[in-house]
Amino acid sequence: MNLLLLGMNHKTAPVEIRERLDIACTEGFSPLGEIRGLPGVEEALYLSTCNRVEILVRGREDAAVEERLRELIFRHGNLSGADLARCLYVYRDADAVRHLFRVAAGLDSLIMGEPQILGQVKDAYRRAVEEEATGIILNKLLHRAFRVAKRVRTETGVANHAVSVSYAAVELAKKIFGALRGQKILLVGAGEMSELAARHLLKHGGDRLFVANRTWERAVRMAAEFQGTAVEFPRLGEALREADIVITSTGAPGYIITGEMVAGALKRRQNRLLFIIDIAVPRDVDPRAGAMDNVYLYNIDDLQEIADENMAIRKEEAARGEEIVSAEAEEFRAWFDTLTVVPTIVSLREKAEAIAAGELERADTWLRNLDPAAREEAALLARAIVNKLLHDPMTTLKEETREGAARAYAAALRRLFRLDGTDGEQ
């Protein structure tokens, strides 16, 4: 196939190394154009995300291609030789195909099954097409990668089940309320995970956000960011009466939401459910609140346990995804091998038909004595003999394509029949 993929990702390289390449490629430099211009490179794709940088090329059989790509990465990433040796991975041919399929399907992502990577691969392919950097092989390969990603998402559960703490909170809220439309959210404190959970809840139907923080300016600023309402910290108990979902993550040394505060709020809530997510360490919410009727209280350990269980489920589903990747990679290999045998089949048929036509021409001295219908019968007989002679070797060649041994047979046929003096490999 002459496919070569070089890259580094979250598994092999720290972010400070990955970002060097990304920064270099956003400052007016077109890596795709330079990659495509390297000697020996015929097709190219450049993929850059916050978690990976990869170059995929197809070209002539040239051992120097890899070295040229390494030099490009070395130069534009301002990397050391030790960085390259430690962080760079290299895949060729079938391994490159399999890796690309796994990336597109989200099986190689930091969060297994995440869907964003497929859009990023599609964007990279679109840019490559716009810059005329792709051809028949990469075009076919990328479209097959998109198909693999769709199959993995629809035929497995690898993208289901929350695997982050913040998103696990959303899944729990859905189970408790059924739907999040119209639910009011109270965000207490400015923790990163609690803020992310609030974003997820609003995205999935949460109606309005209230923000309480010990620093009033911070509460106002965050409320404005979410188009919500700031709440003075001393009025936290009153806010509990209105909220349906409470997310708290402060740095307080003790409980800021006491059992008495929750009990007081419940008297004014008329049996409305109260879902409290306490992501703080140490905890912000008195555990006694979780024993009260109509109160659902979860802390960081509860959410992490849910996320871990869901990750285990995703890993099980990923095994099914890997089976899909393997099957699709084999199909792509078989398709590619047909590109090798088709020229051989065409050349063999052309030579056989040329021989038959030449013999008919030499026999013209006696064929001309036949009537037109008889001459046509003789021509048909010659073509039938050619077809029967070629049927078995051509069928075998196609069968060997599926078995992966077509190249050797094609080379043998080209040598045995002296087909244009080449070995038939492309």
d(CA 94, CA 77): 27
Residue from 14, 23, 29, 50 carrying the catalytic annotation = 50
d(CA 422, CA 299): 70
pTM attached to this predicted model: 0.62
Report pLDDT digits (tens) over 256-301: 999 999 999 998 888 789 999 888 878 899 999 999 999 999 888 8
Q: Give the end of a domain, one of 133, 160, 187.
A: 160
Instruction: Please indicate, yes or no, if residue 288 is contained in any of the structural domains.
Output: yes
**Higher pLDDT residue, 55 or 172?**
55
Statement: residue 99 has pLDDT above 50: yes
Q: What is the mean pLDDT of residues 330-352?
A: 80
Instruction: Please indicate, yes or no, if residue 240 is contained in any of the structural domains.
Output: yes
138 pLDDT band, cuts 50/70/90, is very high
175 pLDDT band, cuts 50/70/90, is confident
Number of domains in the chain: 3
Annotated active-site residue 50? The verdict is yes
- The length of the chain in residues reads 426
Query: 124-133, 165-174, 317-326: lowest mean pLDDT where?
Result: 165-174
pLDDT for 423 equals 42
d(CA 132, CA 259): 66
Identify whether residues 288 and 363 lie together within a single domain: no
Statement: residue 162 has pLDDT above 60: no
Q: What is the mean pLDDT of residues 206-219?
A: 88
Instruction: Please indicate, yes or no, if residue 328 is contained in any of the structural domains.
Output: no
Could you tell me what percent of the chain has a pLDDT over 70?
91
Instruction: Please indicate, yes or no, if residue 424 is contained in any of the structural domains.
Output: no
Identify whether residues 126 and 172 lie together within a single domain: no
| CATH code of residue 268 | 3.40.50.720
Domain range for 76: 3-160
Q: Give the end of a domain, one of 139, 160, 181.
A: 160
Identify whether residues 295 and 384 lie together within a single domain: no
